[in-house]
Amino acid sequence: MKLKKQVTVCGAAIFCVAVFSLYLMLDRVQHDPTRHQSGGNFPRDCQFALGGKGQSPDLQMLAVYSLLPFDNQDGGVWKQGFDITYEPNEWDTEPLQVFVVPHSHNDPGWIKTFDKYYYDQTQHILNSMVLKMQEDPRRRFIWSEISFFSKWWDNISAQKRAAVRRLVGNGQLEMVTGGWVMPDEANSHYFAMIDQLIEGHQWLEKNIGVTPRSGWAVDPFGHSSTMPYLLKRSNLTGMLIQRVHYAIKKHFAATQNLEFMWRQTWDPDASTDIFCHMMPFYSYDVPHTCGPDPKICCQFDFKRLPGGRINCPWKVPPRAITDANVAERAQLLLDQYRKKSKLYRSKVLLVPLGDDFRYDKPQEWDAQFLNYQRIFDFLNSRPNLHVQAQFGTLSDYFDALYKKVGIVPGMRPPGFPVLSGDFFSYADREDHYWTGYYTSRPFYKSLDRVLEAHLRGAEILYSLALAHARRAGADGRYPLSDYALLSNARRNLGLFQHHDAITGTAKEAVAVDYGVRLLHSLTNLKRVIINAAHYLVLGDKDAYRHDPAAPFLGTDDVRPNQDSLPERTVVKLDAVPRFLVVFNPLEQERLSIVPVLVDSPRVRVLSEEGQPLPSQLSAHWGSATDMVPDVYQVSVLARLPALGLRVLQLHKSFDGHATLKSSVRLHLHGRDLPVRKQETVPVHVFPATADDFCLENQHLQACFSGHSGLLQSIRRAGEEREQRVSSEFLVYGTRTSKDKSGAYLFLPDGEAKPYAPKDPPVVRVTEGPLFSEVASYYQHVQTVVRLYNVPGVEGLSLDVSCLVDIRDHINKELALRFSTDIESDDTFFTDLNGFQIQPRRYQRKLPLQANFYPMPAMAYIQDMQSRLTLHTAQALGVSSLGSGQLEVILDRRLMQDDNRGLGQGLKDNKRTCNRFRLLLERRATANKAQDGRPISFPSLLSHITSMHLNAEALVMPVAQEKPAPPALRSFMPLSATLPCDFHVLNLRMLQAEDDSLPSAEAALILHRKGFDCSLEAKNLGFNCTTSQGKLALGSLFQGLELGSLQPTSLTLMYPLGTASNSTNIRLDPMEIATFRIRLG
């Protein structure tokens, strides 16, 4: 994705109170205050967040931002830079080594769909590549998107495949990064980033036998520090980035800091360092890659020779190279090479040669390769020029640079700076900040995460079911073919991580194509989960029969179309009990409220042993004032085993007192609306405006405005003072000038104005023993704030959801802002990819839109006393524009293109549900020095709250059968509780030779979270232990043996150390580790 031409307008041991998980939580629902928290291993595990061991980096991005003036001065031919000068004799002792790297940037969907691009362009690019590269062994080419490459591979002959393997083997063709796509780095979640990297790497290893060495990311709109970590752990040794704020590029160019070792902010010993090259100019196209002057560089893009379809906007066309002009042309180009080389520390120069979907015709290969070869031959035959120029791959460049400075790849080259931090937010010119795409098309950003949660759940359950079936010798009856559905879902989720997909920056028809793929995979994954759950809960495994036509379990919900919100399944109650199987995709046991829709208010819920479970009956509302007839929600309090399946029974009851009822107050605020009620759920209607009111549970009290129904304050149990946390909806407009907001850019017309709907809201307050909630119905947004009356994690935060529909807005963006009395000054914190936290500072010197950042999972503000975290189930844009504020953009509807090549506005808005958790924590041991460091961590409670929000329990009703169903037993896969700072990121069966079937091996990917202990969590109703990162894997899976355990690099390409007999492992905080295992 890019614009085709640049418009050149241009101390004391800290004692930690044990924090918690649902481990060993009271089996009774009451809170037991006599039970003390065990200190466990916290004091040692708390040291990590205090940091301070490693030396500080030379370049800290937060500090760089504070330092720069962002004054956008005119730099001459290099608009956003400066004039570069050099002495002609600078290369006399050490000649300039130039690597020209031909590339073709293939978007897996943007203006056209993935398939249309493939048929129209990509297949021709790759076909000509095989032909043209064989004509001259000096030619080079790099490729990065495996999604396209694998589709092409499936369609070519064995002969052509052999030619490709030869080209890769002799170094002419390099696969760079090797992911399924070149992912967006702002909205993507680390599970999906890793998954698409594994998918690409596994494909490359199996089909070509190659492991990528260098990363290439020329088009993502800003860069996250999660990426260098993932590439480093996959054993890559170098990486390249391009879209960075022009003021940072200029500053780094002026100080020769465009190449650096990129280190994680939390890394104490440089083990995460990876060498990174930042491109210096505006774009990755040819006019902006040979040197600082695009008017000259464009003359060396030989696809633009006169008579072709594209030309040079600077009005000087390229000229074919002949014996007559080669001296003059080569001299002109060398001058650009030398100037560009002055921005870097070494005498080795990288010059990319390509653009979007380039090299799709043999004539273009000839034009570029023959003309450049003539220039190289001329330059290399003139020793007095002191230059050696050639075609190269990305790794050819890195290797030459390492050789020059005398190190092996992966080591730190002497004399290069260390950098930590990230490169958000991005502006390519003026005040055009690319911060709109953090929210664009939020419907699909949300669907992405739903699919991700289902994929992780399906992978884990399939792996466990298959291991148990193999152990029982029943794998002949198990649907192994479900593996093809998993594989397809990995690829569709991977495809959607592309930087024009999850970003919301593709054409409308392309967005629909992505949506259809996501929904197709979601439906298939529900099948995989149902088949695995069916096998695992059967008491008698011999009775297992897989019948695709009549699944044993039903799904929890259905989505009729790719753009519909889910419709929940209603369970029909009968004289015989109905059974439910509930899947908990978390690796911690959880005590949760499980919601089920039923067709009768007379319902009792029992455990599989027949013990009654606490449950609350409430109405199912179709609108603000209409109850859906004959549908009721029963909410069950159930303890769900870690990664396990719990069997529940629903009985039709004729005893009216079996279920706890909820009561409803409906405030109409003077509006004359009919109310449709059912006699079983009491509703009190109040025509006039209500007074302010509060809801509370054992942990906190939340107070609301009677008029707006919106949250006003939160008070934690045992504290006198209530914390102001008031919420309001706001609307941003866009500018009246020619540059307006679009899919990429956020260009507001000043500060947000209060959202002013034409009618006051209908406010509905539901109170009950297990949960209470306030629903406020406005014209464009319905918001529900729910408080669970449950011990443990669920009861410690507020559940907030917003159903947004702005389809009648014109050039407006809807925001939700929380205002508090937390003294956060100008500092706030946002996550990167759900993996780590990056502190942010509100910069007054920058325009409002520059202060927005991606929020894939959470954002928080804090002072010495409190921290308020907003957890999210979908990526959205976030900022803190004033002390004590946190605001998130919920949706945006924009009527025009923003001149970045898309050619459309954002008009295809859907009804979208945005889900959040609001967590207020008390800070016990904060200090100023600690808070000043460019690093921060969530608490364990915060991590677990995020997991609860992102991995909801799945409720599957057993299909209605006339004969009684076979005996079902709950399934508990783990024999011990995992330490609560460990996360099972994935348990993923690896493919067999036939790639539609699973092999005997699986990848187990574990992540140990870094956490901050200074947030109080005492007497919160449950225990949690950590173990200094130690874990005994050998005995972890109940009823299964761990046949082998081999630590590997992140994407399984390299074994790390030898496979030992020991199955005890140890992980440092923040680290992600992959193991190749056999379960059976």
Contact indicator for 404, 410 with CB cutoff of 8 Å: no
Number of Cβ within 10 Å of residue 92's Cβ equals 10
What are the two backbone dihedrals, phi and then psi, of residue 743, each rounded to the nearest 5 degrees?
Answer: -60, -35
- Measured in residues, the chain has a length of 1080
Q: With contact defined as beta carbons under 8 Å apart, do 584 and 950 qualify? A: no
Cα 1048 from chain centre: 23
Question: Is-contact 664 684, C-beta < 8 A?
Answer: yes
* CA end-to-end span of the chain: 46
Exposed/middle/buried for residue 1046 (C-beta within 10 Å: 0-12, 13-18, 19+) = middle
Q: Are 643 and 620 in contact (CB under 8 A)?
A: no
Name residues whose C-beta falls within 8 Å of residue 184's C-beta, 6 or more positions apart in sequence.
Answer: 220, 221, 497, 498, 499, 501, 502, 503
| Chain-centre distance for alpha carbon 167 | 34
- Asked whether 559 and 567 are in contact (CB, 8 A), the reply is yes
Backbone phi, then psi, for 296, in 5-degree steps?
Answer: -80, -50
The residue written with tokens 């002009």 in the block is 325
* Contact indicator for 41, 1013 with CB cutoff of 8 Å: no
Pairing of strands 812-820, 885-893: antiparallel
Active-site residue, 692 included = no
Backbone angles phi, psi at 923, to 5 degrees: -95, 125
Which residue is catalytic, options 45, 219, 513, 898? 219
CA nearest neighbour of 636 among 769, 534, 765: 769
Tell me the residue ranges of DSSP E strands in 254-363. 259-262, 274-278, 348-356
- How far is residue 565's CA from residue 560's CA, in Å, rounded to a whole number? 8
Beta strand pairing call for 836-841 and 866-872: unpaired
Name the DSSP class of 572: P
Cα(1067)–Cα(1071) distance, rounded to whole angstroms?
A: 6
For 863, other C-beta atoms within 10 Å of its C-beta total 19
DSSP one-letter string for 982-1029 = EEEEEEEEEE-SSTTSEEEEEEEEEEEPP--TTB--TTSS-B----TT
Q: Which residues contact 341 (CB under 8 A, 6 or more apart)?
A: 96, 347, 349
Structure tokens at 346: 């070494």
* CB atoms closer than 10 angstroms to residue 93: 8
What angle is formed at CA 354 by the lines to CA 352 and CA 359, rounded to 5 degrees?
140
Q: How is 154-176 classified by DSSP, letter by letter? A: HTS-HHHHHHHHHHHHTTSEEE-
Residue 773 gets the label, from left (phi > 0), alpha (psi -120 to 50) or beta, of beta
DSSP string over 447-502: HHHHHHHHHHHHHHHHHHHHHHHHHTT-TTTS-TTHHHHHHHHHHHHHHHTBTTTT
Distances (CA, A) of 137 to 102, 173, 321: 14, 11, 21
Cβ atoms of 915 and 949 within 8 Å: the answer is yes
For 525, which DSSP code? Answer: H
Catalytic residues: 219
